Amino acid sequence: MQAELILEARAALGEGPAWHRARLYWVDILARQVHCFRPDSGQDDAIQFDDPVGCLAPSRDGGLVVALRASVGTLGFPAAKWTPLASLADEPPTNRFNDGKCDPAGRFIAGTMDMAEKAASGSLYSFRADGSATRLLSGICISNGLAWSPDHRTLYYIDTPTRMVMAYPYDLDTGRLGDGKPLIHVPPALGWPDGMTSDREGNLWIALWGGSAVSQWTADGKLAQTIPVPARNVTSCVFGGEALDELYITSVRTGLSPRELDEYPLSGGLFRAKTQTEGMPTFEFAG
């Protein structure tokens, strides 16, 4: 299994892919853009913001819910109508939103991080359609990958510097977390765990920053395989395609040395790998 380039996006910090209605939505955090890629035509459209765009998720009304630096709102696409939903007045000004997605009940779960990637000043929040927010976790350095088990009873979560995937009992009715337990430790030789998704069999698929790959792990935390990606820093992945068996992958170009760019000239591109499994769907916001 290998990843092929489908769009030479040259993204500064490509992240947060979400599959919805035969389209791939993704963000370029540093370029402050929301993108919509159509695999059937290869067309990629972007909406520009003034703030960094941390993450997004599709909404049941056909639009998107989007987290900017310290606020959340809904976005009509392609009309680009922005409607504020919530803001985080108590977040440190040195923080921004990073990764996020919706839970199966339609809540938007998104985390913050220290932009200097040093302080454990971030949190993980749950947003409802009325804009109310609940802090699920605190003391986070780089809030990253989120995924749910096929029965929706477990939330898997990554704070990148810990190298751990934590498994939290998840109450879908209330959105509350139980006590988390370590499930996976990603060794330094593989890179840093970044974005994450899951499949119908309970496997976890983790993008590896600095590892030029996406790794597949079984539900009991064992490494099953790695999928090479021709980019130095791989950031996230999501299942898409008609059968949800295609893995769409984002990557980064900013911060690479001339030598690394010579070795990985496609860094910042969008990639796709055909798998032998059916992925979990991208859940929609209930707004």
Identify the residue whose tokens are 């860094």. 267
Residue 98 is assigned to a structural domain of this protein = yes
pLDDT computed for residue 10 by the predictor? 98
Per-residue b or e along 155-167, where b marks 16 or more CB atoms closer than 10 Å to that residue's CB = bbbbbbbbbbbbb
Amino acid at 60: R
Residue 184 is assigned to a structural domain of this protein = yes
Residue 170 is assigned to a structural domain of this protein = yes
pLDDT computed for residue 287 by the predictor? 77
Question: Which residues of the chain, if any, have pLDDT below 70?
Answer: none
pLDDT computed for residue 134 by the predictor? 96
CA dist 196 and 207 (Å) reads 6
**Phi and psi for 116 in degrees, rounded to 5?**
-85, -5
Mean pLDDT of the chain: 97
Give 60's Cβ-side CA count (13 Å radius).
11
CA dist 137 and 141 (Å) reads 11
CA dist 165 and 186 (Å) reads 8
Q: Helix (H, G, I), strand (E, B), or coil: what is residue 245?
A: coil
Question: Cβ(238)–Cβ(19) under 8 Å?
Answer: yes
Residue 287 is assigned to a structural domain of this protein = no
Residue 249 is assigned to a structural domain of this protein = yes
CATH number for the domain spanning 228: value is 2.120.10.30
Residues spanned by the domain of 166: 4-274
pLDDT computed for residue 1 by the predictor? 85
Residue 280 is assigned to a structural domain of this protein = no
Residue 285 is assigned to a structural domain of this protein = no
CA dist 188 and 271 (Å) reads 24
Residue 282 is assigned to a structural domain of this protein = no
**Total of domains in the chain:** 1
Q: Helix (H, G, I), strand (E, B), or coil: what is residue 160?
A: helix
CA 155, 158, 159, 163 dihedral sign is: positive
159-168 CB contacts, 8 Å cutoff, 24+ apart: 159/122, 160/192, 160/193, 160/194, 160/209, 161/117, 161/192, 163/187, 163/188, 163/192, 163/193, 164/193, 165/193, 165/196, 165/204, 165/206, 165/217, 165/221
Give the angle 5-48-55 at the CA atoms, nearest 5°.
65
pLDDT computed for residue 56 by the predictor? 98
Question: Cβ(156)–Cβ(183) under 8 Å?
Answer: yes
